């Protein structure tokens, strides 16, 4: 999506903050310097500052200037904040926070999906599963369909708050799926686990659906902790998804 001058200015400053160019507790440059550096008007800078205040990244005041807040005060459910962290690189702390969030959110959402999913929801999740299966047997993009599968489950909960949380979870889910896909035989082994979740949702068995998705989450947790412990580079989720080769 092409952004306007305001959106580009917010992105520049947001990425600079999340990426550490402007450290927590420090100040960002004054308006005149930002206008000169970015080639924009004071009005654009002021509106961008307001947006960053709303996202919890900075605070402004007559005596303190424009100061960067600690990261634990940032709005981590804001899609822009998540995107800026993705661009800056996923840190172990960020990934583990998201793992904890997934353990809490996804089983509850899947249980609700088992009770509330419509025929359209089921069709969408079935199509995502079919895409995963096709990628395993014929080769192609497994990760994107895996992500659609889990996002479909969250949408099927028909809870607006959980759907919003899915935007924050997407970064972790994409990371988990990239790691699982890179393991030999990982996608093929995960297919029956995904099928078990979907079948439980179709059967309206909330307890079984919750248990099935916990199996998936536990496997992803092990994969991620193994990579974090080895100090290997985490997948860059803003890069194209890994393509499977035909079985």
pLDDT digits over 42-56, tens only? 999 999 999 999 999
Q: Is the pTM of this model over 0.85?
A: no
- The better pLDDT of the pair 189, 47 is held by 47
Instruction: Return the minimum-mean-pLDDT range out of 78-92, 113-127, 152-166.
Output: 78-92
Q: Please write the tens of the pLDDT for every residue from 4-32.
A: 999 999 999 999 999 999 999 999 999 99
∠ CA 13-18-21, rounded to 5°: 70
The count of residues in the chain is 247
CA torsion 58-59-62-66 (nearest 10°) is -10
Percent of the residues in the chain that have a pLDDT greater than 90, as a whole number: 57
Domain limits, the chain: 5-73, 90-244
The partner residues of 68 in beta bridges, in order of sequence, read 58
Residue 154: per-residue pLDDT: 94
The listed CATH number (1.20.120.530, 3.30.420.40, 3.20.20.70, 3.40.640.10) that belongs to domain 90-244: 1.20.120.530
Rounded to whole angstroms, the Cα distance separating 80 from 240 reads 19
Q: Say if residues 76 and 82 touch (Cβ distance below 8 Å).
A: yes
Question: Average pLDDT of 212-217?
Answer: 94
Q: Say if residues 125 and 149 touch (Cβ distance below 8 Å).
A: yes
Q: Considering the domain 5-73 in this protein, what is its CATH number?
A: 1.10.10.10
Whole-number mean pLDDT of the chain?
Answer: 88
Three-class SS string for the chain?
A: CCCCHHHHHHHHHHHHHHCCCCCCCCECCCHHHHHHHHCCCHHHHHHHHHHHHHCCCEEEECCCEEEECCHHHCCCCCHHHHHHHHHHCCCHHHHHHHHHHHHHHHHHHHHHHHHHCCHHHHHHHHHHHHHHHHHHHHCEEHHHHHHHHHHHHHHCCCCHHHHHHHHHHHHHHHHHHHHHHHCCCHHHHHHHHHHHHHHHHHCCCHHHHHHHHHHHHHHHHHHHHHHHHHCCCCCCCCCCCCEECCC
């Amino acid at each position: 999506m092409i952004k306007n001058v305001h959106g580009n200015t917010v992105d520049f400053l947001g990425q600079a903050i999340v990426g550490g160019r402007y450290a927590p507790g420090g100040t960002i440059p004054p308006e005149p310097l930002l206008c000169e550096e970015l080639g924009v008007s004071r009005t654009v800078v002021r509106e961008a500052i307001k947006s960053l205040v709303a996202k919890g990244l900075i605070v402004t005041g007559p005596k303190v200037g424009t100061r960067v807040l600690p990261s634990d005060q940032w709005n981590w459910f804001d899609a822009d904040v998540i995107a800026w962290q993705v661009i800056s690189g996923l840190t172990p702390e960020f990934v583990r926070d998201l793992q904890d969030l997934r353990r809490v959110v996804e089983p509850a959402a899947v249980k609700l999906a088992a009770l509330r999913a419509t025929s359209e929801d089921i069709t969408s999740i079935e199509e995502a599963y079919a895409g995963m299966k096709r990628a395993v047997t014929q080769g192609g993009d497994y990760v994107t369909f895996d992500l659609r599968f889990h996002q479909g489950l969250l949408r099927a909960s028909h809870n607006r708050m959980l759907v919003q949380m899915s935007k924050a979870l997407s970064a972790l889910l994409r990371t988990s799926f990239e790691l699982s896909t890179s393991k030999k035989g990982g996608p093929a082994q995960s297919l029956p686990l995904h099928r078990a979740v979907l079948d439980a949702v179709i059967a309206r068995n909330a307890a079984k659906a919750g248990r099935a998705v916990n199996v998936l989450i536990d496997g992803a947790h092990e994969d991620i902790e193994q990579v974090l412990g080895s100090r290997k580079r985490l997948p860059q989720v803003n890069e194209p998804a890994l393509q499977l080769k035909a079985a």
